[in-house]
Amino acid sequence: GKDHLETLESQYILAQVFLQQERYKEAEQAHNQALRRRIKVLGSHHPHTFESMTGLAWALLYQKRYGPALDLSQKALVGREKLLGKDHPDYFRSVYLQARLYHLKKEYSQADPLYRKACSGLERVIGVEHAETKKAYADYQDMKEVQG
């Protein structure tokens, strides 16, 4: 049924596929639906609910809707910190998303410490060779180059 855990996961995966296909409006709609269902079934403080918040924030980021994306990503960051702690990979993924959003808003003084925290944390918990760690470092370097 529509509230079964596997159905909820499938909705999230579909939304992520839309993101990868650069179908951002569809990704936003699918993530919104997945988030609403996950809140209803799992509650607002479940790791999968925070995962959906983050996915929706990315969909908004790619549409240059930084304000709403920042609000959602902040909720996910706070929730993940409380639920998972500051040494969990998802916590650092949320920190990275915040850094990326501030970077794109050209709020470099906000982005810089977040990038540093995300990069060092991701390196420590998933490794320096992991694609996500490399991407965080590359985005941080891009921001530094833009700043001069």
Q: Provide DSSP, 89-119.
A: HHHHHHHHHHHHHHHHTT-HHHHHHHHHHHH
Q: Is the pLDDT of residue 76 over 80?
A: yes
For 42-63, the pLDDT digits (tens) are 999 999 999 999 999 999 999 9
Phi, psi dihedrals of residue 127, rounded to the nearest 5°: 105, 150
State the pLDDT at residue 7: 86
Q: Is the pLDDT of residue 148 over 80?
A: no
Residue from 36, 16, 35 nearest 27 by CA: 16
State the pLDDT at residue 128: 97
Q: Is the pLDDT of residue 99 over 80?
A: yes
Mean pLDDT of 88-98: 97
- Other CB atoms within a 10 A radius of the CB of residue 90 amount to 20
Mean pLDDT of 75-97: 97
Mean pLDDT of 24-37: 96
Q: Is the pLDDT of residue 147 over 90?
A: no
How sure is the predictor about 75, in pLDDT bands with cuts at 50, 70 and 90?
A: very high
- How far, in Å, CA of 65 to CA of 59, rounded? 9
Mean pLDDT of 93-121: 97
Taking every pair of C-alpha atoms in the chain, what is the biggest distance, in angstroms? 54
- Residue 140, classed as helix, strand or coil, is helix
| Cα atoms in the Cβ-side hemisphere of radius 13 Å centred on 99 | 24
- Residue 133, classed as helix, strand or coil, is helix
